[in-house]
């Protein structure tokens, strides 16, 4: 197999000296209304990142097709729901760029170009590829789109020349493959320093993005398993208070605490995990002391957990109500975001086309034809 030439490639710190904020890219699939697991595992962190970094947060509707291609009827509405939750959680369209992936066609162009240089083996060895093929039986994953989904992710990241991607541990291999692909592209297509490019920043087109490991506290669903919509155990950011309280009421507890008089252990209890994330130190102390001494019952403990949770959810739901009443505004914000994203994406694609010598620049043709003319004259 042909090898990309190797060079001493730049790292992402180069942007630090340029006075520009470093870039972050992250996204979620349009799964409809988001749940507390999405909030704790990603959204809450994104809200903090939006001031420190130049952030692009997208809704990955093309990724939804890689495993669910047959029925696309819900995707658009789901995108609006996800955006509504982004806004409700505190992402601010003035401070970050939010958009739908398919509204920025450059994602597809870069994906195609990268597919030409990506060895199949790199995609086949991504851990989630085999794992999901073996474990997910109710979907057709024998498609080119599914195999290529880590590559589409790489294109998403590289298109914005992202320096960092906030991820959990399990996503680190996806960042690794992106770094390899960026290195391979830069090796094949180093930048032409003399080219007339928009805002040249680096010696090579693509920085190698770094994983920004996200602290992701454990938040189980109501049945104690990982919170997931497909398990039917999730608490939505948009669940009204009575629903939140009812869901917590049915949440499983420390299995060792069978009777009210049995002492329990909040460290092995899913309700204890909710307290650890959402309750004040004072409440947490009462939970530990009361649970371990059987001084409190689980019903009381769950009421406290619901109180703590609602203190976080109330402002989120207030913001959500305002946007929910005005889906056209949400769509307009997505379109504005897509406009900004397209501008950034097009800058990268111009650099890519120049590096690959695939521009529409007619001056190159001019050189060739004048050379030909000279040759013809000589004959």
Distance of closest approach, residue 45 Cβ to ligand SF4, in angstroms = 26
> What is the CB neighbour count within 10 angstroms for residue 197?
18
User: Which residue's CB is nearer to ligand SF4, number 238 or number 253?
Assistant: 253
Distance in angstroms (rounded) separating the CA atoms of residues 318 and 314:
6
Distance of closest approach, residue 220 Cβ to ligand SF4, in angstroms = 12
Quick check: 88 and 320 in contact, CB under 8 A? Answer: yes
User: Which residue's CB is nearer to ligand SF4, number 113 or number 298?
Assistant: 298
Distance of closest approach, residue 257 Cβ to ligand SF4, in angstroms = 4
Distance of closest approach, residue 229 Cβ to ligand SF4, in angstroms = 24
User: Which residue's CB is nearer to ligand SF4, number 219 or number 349?
Assistant: 219
Chain-centroid distance of CA 185 in Å reads 23
Quick check: 270 and 261 in contact, CB under 8 A? Answer: no
Quick check: 139 and 68 in contact, CB under 8 A? Answer: yes
Going 292 to 276 to 222 to 322, the CA torsion angle's sign is positive
Which two structure tokens, joined as six digits, stand for 318? 């207030």
User: Which residue's CB is nearer to ligand SF4, number 209 or number 272?
Assistant: 272
Phi, psi of 37 (to 5 degrees): -65, -40
User: Which residue's CB is nearer to ligand SF4, number 61 or number 254?
Assistant: 254
Binding interface with ligand SF4 (CB under 6 A): 253-254, 257, 264, 266, 269, 271-272, 287, 291, 296, 298, 301-302
Distance of closest approach, residue 131 Cβ to ligand SF4, in angstroms = 32
Distance of closest approach, residue 291 Cβ to ligand SF4, in angstroms = 3
User: Which residue's CB is nearer to ligand SF4, number 287 or number 333?
Assistant: 287
Choose among 50, 49, 68, 52: nearest CA to 60: 68
Distance in angstroms (rounded) separating the CA atoms of residues 35 and 185:
38
């Amino acid at each position: 197999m042909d090898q990309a030439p190797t060079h001493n490639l730049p790292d992402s710190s180069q942007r630090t000296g340029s006075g520009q904020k470093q870039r972050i890219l992250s996204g979620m699939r349009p799964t409809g209304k988001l749940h507390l697991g999405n909030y704790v595992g990603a959204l809450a962190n994104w809200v903090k990142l939006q001031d420190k970094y130049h952030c692009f947060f997208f809704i990955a509707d093309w990724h939804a097709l890689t495993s669910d291609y047959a029925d696309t009827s819900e995707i658009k509405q789901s995108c609006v729901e996800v955006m509504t939750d982004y806004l409700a959680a505190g992402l601010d369209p003035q401070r970050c760029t939010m958009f739908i992936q398919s509204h920025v066609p450059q994602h597809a162009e870069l994906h195609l170009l990268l597919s030409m240089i990506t060895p199949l083996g790199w995609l086949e060895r991504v851990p989630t590829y085999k794992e999901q093929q073996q474990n997910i039986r109710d979907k057709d994953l024998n498609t080119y789109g599914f195999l290529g989904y880590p590559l589409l992710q790489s294109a998403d990241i590289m298109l914005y020349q992202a320096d960092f991607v906030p991820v959990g541990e399990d996503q680190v291999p996806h960042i690794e493959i992106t770094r390899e692909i960026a290195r391979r592209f830069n090796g094949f297509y180093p930048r032409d320093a003399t080219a007339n490019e928009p805002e040249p920043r680096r010696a090579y087109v693509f920085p190698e993005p770094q994983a920004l490991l996200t602290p992701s506290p454990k938040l189980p669903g109501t049945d104690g398993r990982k919170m997931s919509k497909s398990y039917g155990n999730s608490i939505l950011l948009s669940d009204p208070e009575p629903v939140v309280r009812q869901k917590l009421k049915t949440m499983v507890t420390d299995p060792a605490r069978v009777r009210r008089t049995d002492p329990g252990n909040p460290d092995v209890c899913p309700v204890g995990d909710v307290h650890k994330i959402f309750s004040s130190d004072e409440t947490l102390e009462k939970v530990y002391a009361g649970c371990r001494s059987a001084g409190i019952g689980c019903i009381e403990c769950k009421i406290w957990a619901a109180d703590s949770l609602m203190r976080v959810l109330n402002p989120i739901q207030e913001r959500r109500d305002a946007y929910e009443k005005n889906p056209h505004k949400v769509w307009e914000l997505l379109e504005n975001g897509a406009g900004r994203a397209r501008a950034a994406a097009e800058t990268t694609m111009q650099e890519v086309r120049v590096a690959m010598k695939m521009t529409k620049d007619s001056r190159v043709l001019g050189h060739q034809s004048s050379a030909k003319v000279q040759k013809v004259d000589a004959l």
